[in-house]
Chains A and B, each alone.
Chain A
Amino acid sequence: MSEGLIIEDLHLALSGKAPSRKVRSGEGPIARPVLSGVGLSVAPGEFVALVGASGSGKTMTALSVLGLLPPQIHVQSGSIRLGGTDLLQSDDRELNRIRGGRMGMLYQQPKRMFNPRMTIGSHLAEPLKLHRGLRGRQARQQALELLADAGFDDPARCARAYPHQLSGGMAQRAMLALAMAGQPELLLADEPTSALDKVLERQILALIDNQRRQHGLGVLYITHDLATVSAFADRVVVMDGGRVQESGPARTVLDTPRTAFTKDLLAASALTAAQVTSAQAPAAGTAVRIPVQPLLRTPTAGTPLAGTPAAGMPLRIPVRVAGHTPVARTPLRTTVRIPVRRPPASEAGAPAPSTILALDDVTKRFRSNGRGARPALEGVSLSLREGEILGVLGQSGSGKSTLARLLVGVETPDRGSITRTLPAGERSTGDDGTAVQLVFQEPHDAFDPRMTLRASLEAPLLRRRNCTADERRERIHTAVRDVELDPDLLDRYPGQCSGGQLQRLTIARALLLDPAVLICDEATSALDAVTQRKVLDLLLRLHSDRRLSLILISHDMNVIRYMSHRVAVLYQGALVELARTTDFFANPSHGHSKQLVAAARPDPRAAAPSGDYGLDAAAVGLVLGARTSP
């Protein structure tokens, strides 16, 4: 009981063939290693963060603890013990008692983890009956308490709800209630917040932390985002390529990363929540904090860093990792290659900036069920200047994607107008339909799975009569090299590529048509932190090389802050704020913007302004309550 979870020297392998029970001796001729000698431990009441890029073996580690590995993956050697019980030697009956009873699990996509045809309440009834022998009234009572603990202000209503009626954040909280139902001693959390925005992420983390403190729960928290968990984790385990690269107390790993991989991870997290101090050595204890932003902009008077860094020049800047005010006493030093944004014409002092896209009082309404639904977009006026990067912020349902669809021309506005003034002569296309291109959120869905990538990239070029097969080939290869990929990749199918590679290819496909404007609709939200950073830097480079204007649609404050010149905030279909990025983050004016900025602030335990802007007021209250209680 006292020793918690201990994994020792765990080796997992993928049998060479597709899932088939005919693989004779367990290992096919080619057994590819998935995990090679992974060892880690989680003591009772300890919060351990398991960090790594996608594909590093984090999820497989969690699934092997649960004993629910996919059939084609086998445990080759090693041991997994929970409170003295050897999980790998336990039979199914024993494991069924342990799963849900002594350990609970949170998943990356909570909505898919509920049976769509059962209410949340009937889900909760299962572990309550199995592991605690509760039935009927007692079970219902307990279920309501669990939901209340998970931050639902109306637990009865949640218990009656079906999974599809819950938002992503609510579903994850319901999943937490479900995981806690068996009163486990260990919680496995597999990227429970990577699909959620920062506000919700913080709520969930606070709830988990709360449960940990109340019940002495050991937490193994899997994530690719180091910055997020850094404030909560006692220890950090860094994984890459199926091996533990580094592990130790959170403060040690974060302050003095030993491996290059950890440094990369930290650099990627620096984008998501870093504060950069001045390059000139600051007086001890009086670090001058400059947001990353001014460094990337054309330096203006008053910025301590004078002179424009050359594009791509490696620059050594000290980075303070977010959320480590009490931990990282000395600033962490990391070398970051800084891509430089070409400023919009206005800031470079060039002639008056020409507007390339303009929305005038645009309203779009989708009819649903004939009843008066609120418009997806209402009275939005917005303009994009040539060579500008405009960030569009908003939570899900705020009308961001509708905006993108209107701009590309897939939808037409019900009211108002959209004007495109494309730069004359510069673009060879002359075709209005291709001057604005879109990059989608989910790269795997953006390609036809039955076409090779080459065929997918060639398709938009086939429309053009003045393009021979050789020219097409040449242009595709150029575009692919432009996004820093090997053209050999083109003969693969989408299923054989990683998310990062595919997202680069969607960008390459968009570039093939020589667009003047590229709209990225949550283009990096599905990627892990390291890959996200690379794709963002690629976009910055294209922006500066090709004079591409960008519209970045995201719910991620840090992506917006990292990238854009100006920020537009959408809230319930209306444009509530439009400001220069620095002004916006320094002094947001609308209530919703204030809340967004507060949520993106590095220290998750810092006070956030309360207020009900599309959030579950109860959960906000609960987080605040937890903070004020001793």
Chain B
Amino acid sequence: MSKTIGIDLGTTNSCMAVLVHGKPVIIPNAEGERTTPSVVAFTQAGQRLIGTAAKQQQPGNPQGTLSSIKRFMGRQWEEVSEEMTIAAYPVEKGESGDVNVTVEGTLYTPQEISAMILQKLKADAEDYLGESVTEAIITVPAFFNDAQRKATRDAGRIAGLNVLRIINEPTAASLAYGLDNADDQTVLVFDLGGGTFDVSILGLGGGLFEVKATNGDNHLGGDNFDKAIVDWLLEEFNREHGIDSSVDPIALLRLYAAAEKAKIELSTMPATQVNLPFITATPAGPKHISLELTRVQLNGLSASLIARTTNPIMQALADAGIEAREIDQVVLVGGMTRMPAIQDKIRELTGKEPHKSINPDEVVAMGAAIQAGVLLGEVKDVLLLDVTSLSLGIETKGGVFTRLIERNTSIPTRKTQTFTTAEDNQCLVEIHVLQGESEMAAFNKSLGTFLLVDLPLVRRGLLEIDVTFDIDANGIIRVEAQDIVSGNEQQIRIEGGSGLTEDEISRMVKSAKAYAEAAHRLRELADVRNHAEVLAAEIELSLNTFYTQIKASEASMITERIADLRQVIEGVDVREIRTRTEALVEAAQVLRHEGQAE
């Protein structure tokens, strides 16, 4: 049986874990890192890089390097004005109103880019585990809407993963913490990642992890803090030199990289130096940035960002029906929670010392691995009861959003409400399904529309139309409408919203698979070449040492075969390299005996 892994597909970094003997273990990537930068790059040479390699070459290739793609997942063009100011790569409006990126003339959806990251994680996990990985649990911010969740699921499918479930990041984190704590308690999870802020309140007890409320800010994350520092650097630079560098994409990327580094350093140090030599060139010569940034200054720059965490926490507490003092534990998730000012804010709001025993970058993936174990029956005595984080309802007369399922309702759930017609002799009603918290339908996220037709022609207000919302444990929404008198019935499964049709997904699955095969061949070639090169070098060295102790014919045979191998080593014929490597090894046997004899 293949393994099921838990994947935290983060805005800036991704992480994966697997259950080993009932305990979650982080799977390192092929580079040996425990987290993988969520960056995909397309080089001028046509190479595709993912992870650290992609991130490192970003300053030299700003247009071809896609970072923080998660901010665009399942989003509509109109929703991402704030995100666009951070992205250095070109984004454009897709056909279905979603957000696309163009690199080297090719158009990609965010789902495809995310799938590339997932594909790398999948391949690295397979190498590490030595078996195939076909199933995964992927986490998303609790405040992701249906379209964003669907987009994430689609990304998994494109990457060749059967996504068993999409679960909320803070919920996953609580699972990772909860394993060893069996007492009844109320936990607040504070999750400030690269691109999103989530807060969840859970009740733990008797093995049940019950999400009571979630809230968050889909536009608040570490990227915003970096931007605050960059803005400050630009302003200082402009004041000193009268130069605005904000238009130079390469300079901007270097500024972002420096800002992130400074931010991380200031979590442990009171001050740091930002040095960016040759940030720009003027007729008077090159200009450099060399500025000191203190923790106090950073706190000032990010005060308004930190303040934005207050409202979601208060709202979540109110929704959960509890006071801050009733919180027993506070769990931190996301690299941003290392910032002392953030931890101070949490202490101020909750009066509790936050838990830090699990690495905030890894805790979500570990929780996802546990949930995989729960679903496969490997983990007993744990059950996650999640909630729908946004209200669901339909549009009613006057463009009003009428909720059927309130946010923070436990799923699975089902709810029916009776509606009636607004006009005399109305023969059809349109059921417009929406998700969101605004009282007006227009400000909520539309999930789909369907019609209930052939209604009996009667006076308004007489018909009874039952509208039923059904959400299963996977969060998949189904809406039914039935005219009680005639029994007419219509239903939809909410499929739309992610921006991808089934055809598009299967096309992407195919191309991703083809790429994976090509990548596999390339990796195999690289491995064979490496092996051959190292071997040839080693044998050459031995030969130089021991040639006096073997026959001249044997020595010349070895030399010949090294030359033969080196002739094909730069080629692409894996089999030929292998054959010639084996031939060399065979010829070099005599050297081994000699080496051992000595």
Partners in one complex: no
Chain B: residues with CB nearer than 8 A to chain A? none
Chain A: residues with CB nearer than 8 A to chain B? none
